[in-house]
A and B are shown apart, each in its own frame.
Chain A
Amino acid sequence: MSTLDASAAALPAADLPAGDNYLTCDRGFKSWAFTLDHKRIGVMYLTGILIFFMIGGLFALLVRTSLPVPGVAGQAKGPITAELYNKFFTLHGAIMVFIVIIPGIPAALGNFVLPLMLGAKDVAFPRINLMSFYFWCAGVVLALTSLVLGGVDTGWTFYTPYSTTTNTAVIPVVAGAFMLGFSSIFTGLNFIVTIHKLRPPEMGWFKMPLLLWAIYSTGIVQILATPVLGIILLLLIVERAVGIGIFDPALGGDPVLFQHFFWFYSHPAVYIMILPAMGVMSELLTVFSRRHIFGYSFIAYSSVAIAVFGFLVWGHHLFVSGQSNLLNTIFSAITFSVAVPSAIKVFNWLATLYKGSINLKTPMIYALGFIWIFGIGGLTGLFLGTLATDVHLHDTYFVVAHFHFVMAGTIFTFFGAVHYWWPKIMGKMYNEALGRWGAMLSMIGFNITFLAQFWMGSLGMPRRYFHYDPFFQPYHVASTIGAYIMGFGFLLTMICLVHSLFRGKRAAANPWGGVTLEWRTASPPPHYNFDRTPPVTDPYDFNLVRYNADTDAYDFIPAEERVAVPAGHH
């Protein structure tokens, strides 16, 4: 790649001030606000997303705190009224879905890591990348505006006819989601073009790290599904503002049409959430078991399959909304089949771990936890995909527990990824003990919270209810206790990360012994990513590195020293 060498020649590493990297090369607010450097954009996203994760979590704690006491219908519980409760769960959902988890791994980590993994100098369209971040900020501002104006109480799904008739500040939050949708579209667009066009010539499609297959598949979903969200939100705003009547039966409209529009996006959206997490899983499990990935092609193809299948199942959210029997059957059948590619991945990961040399660092704890958490989440989805049981389980806490389990798969993998790439991004090592405690407490608390919800959901406890039959109180109490444990665990994690910025050990270039290209450059990387063009290798061949006890990190073995690897190793 001639231009890499050319720019490296322009700034030879020896002439750089010691420790000059992308964080220190330029200073001042404007150098961040108008940066075109994908690494800086990634860091800004990461900071914003972590902050809003805590805010969304705060709303979750408010939800759970409203619920240990069943209450009496028509009466408030202390300072919390039913209307306020509605706002709590709506804001929790909207913030977590649109601001945190959809941008999530692609924006916060993909932006940073993707070009590095390709040995490239930036994404294909750096200015569009920055614009994508501005859209995210705009979405956040609009959502906060809604908060200031009293919040929204429609549920994050904005179902009509309530959302078109309620008096709360629906339009700002919907407009915010619209902006966030465009942020997502442009991120996906950028990543697809980058992966197509900026791969080095030696890196064929089947020599890419699997994270890139995942991000590519996510990009496909972002491009095709998110515009439909855009139009439905626009129609909702127009309906509220001027009353066209598309969703109003009195004017000849159809409220269920909203659900078709909404879920046509929102179901593929959950695959936007999970696919990058699965990509990260492939990276974490291989590095921390020192094993080549098992079944590379299967995992790669299954990512694309999940993306495609994800478009064919949205009707399973409409099973009890009056959807026709024909469509119910079609969607139920396809919903079963969408579990298959996910299962293929899980079995391949387990095979990867077999006879591996497991290193229980914090990222690995998160990754192993994912297998349990996503396993349960995915399997319980099958109960919901079955028509007969869904009639019983729809709109109960069973659904809430199901989607929290799968989304927690994303969140915990997200934190695993944050810890994994933290040394690369910040140049600091986090405290391993704090990291592990944070991971374990949050995952244990999570399980307590939501296993209780599976139980009470199957017994009939409806979701989004403020007052409930006292029969369910023990479950709610358990769930709330779990939520606080989980919150404390996440707090520990945040403390761990922030603490590392001030007191963390300086990170080596390759603390974990990864073989993908980002580990071939310094931690943190220089502004232009690589001093010299990194050679393209098999991304999971761990014979290429060796442990260095002096630095407690790994070095890449120079080519002349490397022992020939017998064929058929993996």
Chain B
Amino acid sequence: MADAVQTNAQPHADAHAHPSNLQHHFDTPAQQFDASKFGMWLFLSTEVLFFSGLFLFYTVVRRHHPDAFALGSTFLDWRLGAINTLVLIASSLTMALGVYFAQRSMQRALVFCLVLTLIGAFTFMGIKYIEYSHKIHEQIVWGKWFNPTRGHEAAEHENAAPHGEVASQQDAEAAEPASGSHEPQPAAASAAPAAAIQSQPTAASTDSAPASEPALPIEQSGIMMAGNGPSGLAAGEEVEEKGEEPELDTYALAKQRKDVHLFLGVYFCLTGLHGIHVLAGIVMIICLLIGAIKGRYNSDYYTPIDVGGLYWHLVDLVWIFLFPLLYLV
């Protein structure tokens, strides 16, 4: 916190009676140190409760939509999640080592550790960015914008029509058979662009139950150009998708259900809030790094490093729970 990061060095003639870095309202450095750590632990407990609401959201959604939850989770790549977990654990280690070196007045080692922690943090955010951009590109997002579209189709889609405004039933029809093989709809597909803008329910009998009509406007997109619809097989994309579960096309399945987007809502809220905390942690570590380079921290006074470390460990703690809960469903 601001208090912990900015030190309050007051020049005093007698260093023993009133050590520098001791604020005027504290009696001893030990009292100040204890108070700072206690204050940080109180703040960490508020963070725990801050996330608690999202964990309740998670629990309710998972409890009441278990299948949609499991299906939504397949859109996450557990390997990226695992790498991120290991990255954060490593950065926690370097942070704890930073505290160790500060306690031993080993300034260069401290700076080195803080830099490593920062690298870990940026790596984490980088991987997060990759995950998010992939999902956003493929419209695997929350609420009514949930419309999983494989990469190449998404690219076409972005060129063809405004994002999120398309409502067409072609994709629903194409996605119908759970086996994943698309029924050829070349005629319908070629008529797509103009009709795509309107939320026109086609009279096709393969349409899902009429109750799915917008009173709940869940758009179905996917203007499949003739060459890209059924020829997805030829493009080889589906083979890749089918690598995990040969029988199921998760993209298609997800579009059949109305509640898979809830998982994505939970995912983006939890990882988003966590990501904001990582960003705040990055800012904090940079401040500590600047102070460390200036030689402010040593065995007499390393409180900001210690309390900053506590915050960073909390960020790691939250992710330790998020990883299995989101990625390993």
Contact, chains A and B (beta carbon distance below 8 A) = yes
Chain A residues with CB under 8 Å of chain B are 1-3, 6-7, 115, 120-128, 131, 185, 189-190, 192-193, 196-198, 223-228, 230-232, 234-235, 238, 242-246, 250-254, 257, 260-261
Q: A192 contacts B46, CB within 8 Å? A: no
Residue B277 at the chain A interface, CB threshold 8 Å? no
- Cα separation A232 to B55 with both chains bound (whole Å): 12
Within 8 Å CB of B268, what residues of A? 244
Q: Are B17 and A6 in contact (CB under 8 A)?
A: yes
Given contacts A2-B27, A227-B47, A235-B57, contact A193 B39 (CB under 8 A): yes
Q: Once the chains bind, are B65 and A127 in contact (CB under 8 Å)? A: no
User: Which residues of B sit under 8 angstroms from A244, Cβ to Cβ?
Assistant: 142-143, 261-262, 265, 268-269
Assess the A127–B2 pair: CB atoms within 8 A.
yes
Identify the closest chain A residue to B45 (Cβ).
Answer: A223
Stretch at the interface among B30-38, B73-81, B155-163: B30-38
A3 to B34, CA, bound (A): 18
Q: A189-B39, A251-B262 are in contact. Are A1 and B52 (CB under 8 A)?
A: no
B321 within 8 A of A: no
- What separation, in Å, do the CA atoms of A139 and B271 have in the docked complex? 26
Could you tell me the distance between the alpha carbons of A128 and B39 in the complex, rounded to whole angstroms? 10
Of chain B, the residue at the smallest CB distance from A120 is B25
Judge if B171 is at the interface, Cβ distance under 8 Å.
no
Which residues does chain B contribute within 8 Å of A192, judged by CB atoms? Answer: 42
Say how far B81's CB is from chain A's closest CB, in angstroms: 21
* List of A residues within 8 angstroms of B145 by Cβ: 242-243
B45 touches A230 (CB 8 A): no
Residue interface bits B141-170, CB-to-A below 8 A is 1, else 0:
011110000000000000000000000000
* Shortest beta-carbon distance from A179 to chain B in Å: 14
* Complex contact B53–A125 (CB within 8 A): no
In the complex, the chain B residue whose C-beta lies closest to that of A261 is: B53
Contacts of A198 in B (CB 8 A): 25-26, 35
Enumerate B41-68 residues with CB–CB distance to A below 8 Å.
42-43, 45-54, 56-57, 60-61, 65, 68
A-B contact pairs, 21 of them (CB 8 A): A125-B1, A126-B23, A193-B39, A196-B35, A198-B25, A224-B46, A226-B46, A231-B51, A243-B142, A243-B145, A244-B262, A244-B268, A245-B262, A246-B57, A250-B215, A251-B258, A251-B262, A252-B61, A252-B65, A252-B259, A257-B56
**Contact A128-B1, Cβ < 8 Å, known A189-B42, A224-B49:** yes
Q: Which of B27, B50, B258 contacts A1 (CB 8 A)?
A: B27
Q: A189-B43, A197-B31, A243-B142 are in contact. Are A128 and B2 (CB under 8 A)?
A: yes
Is B216 part of the binding interface, using a Cβ–Cβ cutoff of 8 Å?
yes
Q: What's the least CB distance linking B254 to chain A, in Å? A: 13
Interface core residue of B3, B42, B258, B261 (most chain A CB under 10 Å): B42
Which residues on the A side are within 8 Å of B57 (C-beta)? 235, 246, 257
- In the bound assembly, the distance between CA atoms of A226 and B50 in angstroms comes to 8
Nearest Cβ on chain A to B107's Cβ, whole angstroms: 25
Write the nearest CB–CB distance from B8 to chain A, whole angstroms: 9
Contact call B45/A3, Cβ cutoff below 8 A: no
Q: Which of B119-154 contact A (CB under 8 A)?
A: 142-145
* Cross-chain contact of A231 among B31, B53, B216 (Cβ < 8 A): B53
A250 touches B269 (CB 8 A): no
A122 touches B143 (CB 8 A): no
Picked from B3, B48, B52, B262, the residue with its CB within 8 Å of the CB of A127 is B3
A25 → chain B, closest Cβ, in Å?
A: 15
Q: Are A6 and B18 in contact (CB under 8 A)?
A: yes
Nearest B residue to A115 via CB reads B25
- The reply on B6 being an interface residue by CB < 8 A is yes
B294 at the interface (CB under 8 A from A): no
- A244-B269, A246-B57 as given contacts; A251 in contact with B38, CB under 8 Å: no
B142-A231 in contact (CB<8A) = no
Bin the interface of chain B by size: 35 or more
User: What 9 A-B pairs come out closest when comparing CB atoms?
Assistant: A231-B53, A244-B265, A227-B49, A122-B25, A227-B50, A243-B143, A252-B259, A121-B25, A197-B35
- Cα–Cα, bound, A196→B32 (Å): 12
Contact of B45 among A7, A128, A193, A224 (CB under 8 A): A224
Q: Are A228 and B53 in contact (CB under 8 A)?
A: yes
In chain B between 249 and 291, which residues have their CB closer than 8 angstroms to a CB of chain A? Answer: 258-259, 261-262, 265, 268-269, 273
Known A-B contacts: A128-B1, A228-B49. Give 7 more (CB < 8 A). A1-B27, A196-B35, A231-B52, A231-B53, A243-B144, A244-B143, A244-B262
* A231 lies within 8 A of B50 (CB): yes
Q: Measured between C-beta atoms, what is the minimum distance from B27 to chain A in Å?
A: 5
Q: Residue among B26, B31, B46 with the most chain A CB within 10 A?
A: B46
* Known contacts A197-B34, A231-B50, A231-B51; A126/B25 CB under 8 A: yes
Contact A245 B143, beta carbon cutoff 8 Å: yes
Which residues does chain A contribute within 8 Å of B56, judged by CB atoms?
257, 260-261
Cβ B39 vs Cβ A238 within 8 A: no
Q: How far is the CB of B49 from chain A (nearest CB, A)?
A: 4
List, in ascending order, chain B residues with CB within 8 A of A122's CB: 24-25
Which chain A positions have C-beta within 8 A of B216?
A: 250-251
Cα–Cα distance between A250 and B49 once the two chains are bound (Å): 28
Q: How far is the CA of A128 from the CA of B31 in the complex (A)?
A: 17
Contact of A238 among B3, B46, B47, B269 (CB under 8 A): B269
* Closest partner residue, chain B, to A250 (CB atom): B216
Measured CB to CB, the closest approach of chain B to A338, in angstroms, equals: 21
1/0 contact string of B174-210 vs chain A (CB within 8 Å) = 0000000000000000000000000000000000000
Contacts of A260 in B (CB 8 A): 56
Q: Is the CB of A242 within 8 A of B143?
A: yes
Considering the complex, give the chain B residue whose CB is closest to the CB of A4: B27
Residues of A near B43 (CB, < 8 A) are 189
Provided the pairs A6-B17, A246-B265 are in contact, do residues A235 and B25 lie with their beta carbons within 8 angstroms?
no
* CA of A203 to CA of B48, assembled, Å: 32
Q: Nearest-CB distance from B189 to chain A (Å)?
A: 28
Docked complex Cα distance between A242 and B269 (Å): 11
Is there contact, CB below 8 Å, between A124 and B39?
Answer: yes
Specify which chain B residues have a CB less than 8 angstroms from the CB of A123 in the assembled complex: 25
- Collect the chain A residues with CB atoms within 8 Å of residue B65's CB: 252
Complex Cα distance, B55 from A17, in Å, reads 59
Which residue of chain B lies nearest to A249 when distances are taken between CB atoms in the complex? B216
Q: How far is the CA of A105 from the CA of B120 in the complex (A)?
A: 44
Q: Determine if B142 and A185 form an interchain contact, defined as CB atoms under 8 angstroms apart.
A: no
Contacts of A225 in B (CB 8 A): 49
Q: How far is the CA of A193 from the CA of B145 in the complex (A)?
A: 46
Question: For the complex, what is the distance from the CA of A131 to the CA of B24, rounded to whole Å?
Answer: 19
Contacts of A131 in B (CB 8 A): 2
Cross-chain contact of A245 among B25, B31, B52, B261 (Cβ < 8 A): B261
Q: Which residues of A sit under 8 angstroms from B265, Cβ to Cβ? A: 244-246
| B267–chain A nearest beta-carbon distance, Å | 10
A251 contacts B3, C-beta separation under 8 Å: no
Most chain-B CB neighbours within 10 Å: which of A125, A198, A245? A245
Whole-angstrom CA separation of A228 from B55 in the bound complex: 11
